[in-house]
Structure 1
Amino acid sequence: MADERVAPDKPPAQQTATTGMTGTTTEPGGTSHHRASRMPRFATDARKRVARVLATIVSVLTTVVVAVLAVHIVFVAFEANTANELVRTVAGWAGDLAWQFRDVFQPADHKLEVAVNYGLAALVYLIIGRIVVGLIRRLA
């Protein structure tokens, strides 16, 4: 049978009853908790901090990727100097980031092709990034 004990030094509203050897406690409102499943408050706070940091990192990385793709679209649309080192660097990064999206659509106009395909890649990165950030925050 269950061994019910009530702490005599606590007022009735704060008393907790312990039942059996399972380590289950019953709070005054009737809520049961298992001692092994309780995390110390500092562990919960630390987990939340880590999740916030991870969510921020994913958000920043997503923003940087989308910005690189957008800058490349602008460079192509306004015919930036391809001999310029910055333009070549951004084009290289954008080409790597757009991987499978570089030739999804193939209109005759090169500017339109870059805008549509690299814009599609940016949109996919943005959506996936938002989903991952939401999942990280939800798991915290």
Structure 2
Amino acid sequence: MADDPDLTRVESRGGRRAAGERRSLTSGAAAARRRAVGVAATAVSAVTTVVVLILAVHIFFVAFEANTANDLVRWFGDRAGDLGWQFKDVFQPENPKAEVAVNYGLAALVYLVIGRVVTSLIRRLA
């Protein structure tokens, strides 16, 4: 049977087809991995952007003396207070507006840098 040329052609075509199927499965897995890495990097970037925006809005509200009795202003202040954890009193200038701007601005900068580094590391996995 092995000497039969028709059978050899069929076996060889089947072998090529199997290798092609393996290649498409491998490329499919690679594409799925690239998509997953892209989604993870986008998620980290989006979360970082939201955190930085919350801190920036809080700085804006403080700088322009927004009404602290307003629920929206209070919400941003509470979230910024949670996100600013160790940065709230790094610098203590006499002007309270400057204190908020500098300390929460520093927190925003640190979040931004860390978010960019993590996003870059995630994208390198692809």
> Which residue of structure 1 aligns with residue 48 of structure 2?
62
Distance 2:64 2:95 in 1: 13
**Is 1:118 the counterpart of 2:91 in the alignment?**
no
Which structure dedicates a bigger proportion of its chain to strand? 1
1:34-83 residue CA offsets vs partner (Å, 9 max, x unmatched): xxxxx711111100000000000000000000000000000000000000
Q: Deviations over 1:96-115 (max 9, x none)?
A: 00000000000110000000
Distance of 2:49 and 2:27 partners within structure 1: 33
Take 2:39 and 2:29, find their aligned partners in 1: how far apart are those partners? 15
Matches within 5 A, 1:1-140: 40-140=26-126
Measure the CA separation in 1 of the matches of 2:70 and 2:118: 35
**d(CA) in 1 for partners of 2:53, 2:65:** 18
User: Identity percentage over the alignment?
Assistant: 66
Could you say which residue in structure 2 is the equivalent of 1:24?
A: none
Q: Which runs of 5+ in 2 are unaligned?
A: 1-7, 10-24
Whose relative contact order is higher, 1 or 2, with alpha carbons under 8 Å and at least 6 apart? 2
Number of residue equivalences: 104
- Runs of 4+ that moved beyond 3 A: none
> Normalised by the size of structure 1, how large is the TM-score?
0.72
For the residue of structure 2 that corresponds to 1:137, the secondary structure is helix
1:92: how far off? 0.2
Q: What is the root-mean-square deviation of aligned Cα atoms in Å?
A: 1.3
